[in-house]
Structure 1
């Protein structure tokens, strides 16, 4: 697929999931591919604070001056929930990787001290009020579902693939028969993601 310069994405935001970080496999592979093949694209993958309110404030502030028509967001799991909210507010393109559909419900079971996936010595506290902050960020159906690509694995051991599919009617859907929550076969999806971002 070819696209004109006016269509191509110039700014890409990556949002990691709960207990994850910018050191996640998917974030690093995405960063490497964009920096190698599209060095002109602005790439940002912030470390998100545990507070959903603070996390989304960081996201909103960091992208405030980004061109809406030429920015895109990639979100994994809880990051997919944040990405959905950002796509609603900005109309930007979005790629959702096994996105969390109802994190307020799901993470209510995880209140307390947590360890980071990529460094068990790194700890944070998930507070009860964070569940309410997640509820406050929930949003309805996206007005431009055609600008969304959802990659959903039926083999996701954390989230229900049926909920994920039902959450994004009209979106471009790549439904994997197997797979896992981490999308361990992420390399196989890079070209589809870049095509959706109009970088191929």
Structure 2
């Protein structure tokens, strides 16, 4: 039975993001049996969540782990708690419905060249997706770099209190030298090096 990692990208990103590309390069060397799926989530929260949920449900009973970065970390948290699957969270967004409020209005995704309008309805949809509580915190691995210029890492530390964590001083939102933590992520997701 093959194992699958579902990678969920961040806001205004895409399957062509740097982290997704790096994972595509590294995974065959670390664990050739893993299938990496990086869906195009789009900007609509309900659509993004549904796309990822459909992929999880299609693999019910198979080894599956989630990796989510930034806004994708928010989605991965919600999906992990709903479907009881492990998730590694890279500089995850906490309360994105507050964080993205300043971005309401016209947006452009540089990866996909998509132009769209971010609305208050999108913020309400994000808030509705947030788990009431972390019912299975043991399913989450938190990876933070304190130099994140986009998100305050302390917000994630407070929200994910009690969750296994890997906190590195410095770095940035992209998460510098991600390759150092990939083996730890795979081990947490139950897909250690082979």
Please give the TM-score of this superposition, normalised by the length of structure 1.
0.88
Match of 2:33 in 1: 40
d(CA) in 1 for partners of 2:33, 2:177: 27
Could you tell me which of 125, 133, 136 is aligned with 2:117? 125
More divergent stretch after superposition (142-151 vs 95-104): 142-151
Could you tell me which of 6, 23, 42 is aligned with 1:13? 6
Say if 1:68 and 1:92, in contact at 8 Å, map to a contact too: no
1:109 aligns with 2:135: no
1:165 aligns with 2:125: no
Shift of 1:68: 5.4
Please give the TM-score of this superposition, normalised by the length of structure 2.
0.90
Match of 2:179 in 1: 187
What aligned pairs does 1:56-75 form with structure 2 within 5 A after superposition?
A: 56-67=49-60, 70-75=63-68
Say if 2:30 and 2:183, in contact at 8 Å, map to a contact too: no
d(CA) in 2 for partners of 1:178, 1:38: 29
Poorly superposed stretches of 4+, deviation over 6 Å: none
Match of 1:90 in 2: 83
The one-character-per-residue Cα deviations of 1:11-70 (angstroms, maximum 9, x if unpaired) are: 210000001111111111112222344333232100111110111111111221223572
Instruction: Please state whether the residue corresponding to 1:63 is helix, strand or coil.
Output: helix
Question: Unaligned stretches of 5+ in structure 2?
Answer: none
Question: Unaligned stretches of 5+ in structure 1?
Answer: none
Say if 1:85 and 1:137, in contact at 8 Å, map to a contact too: yes
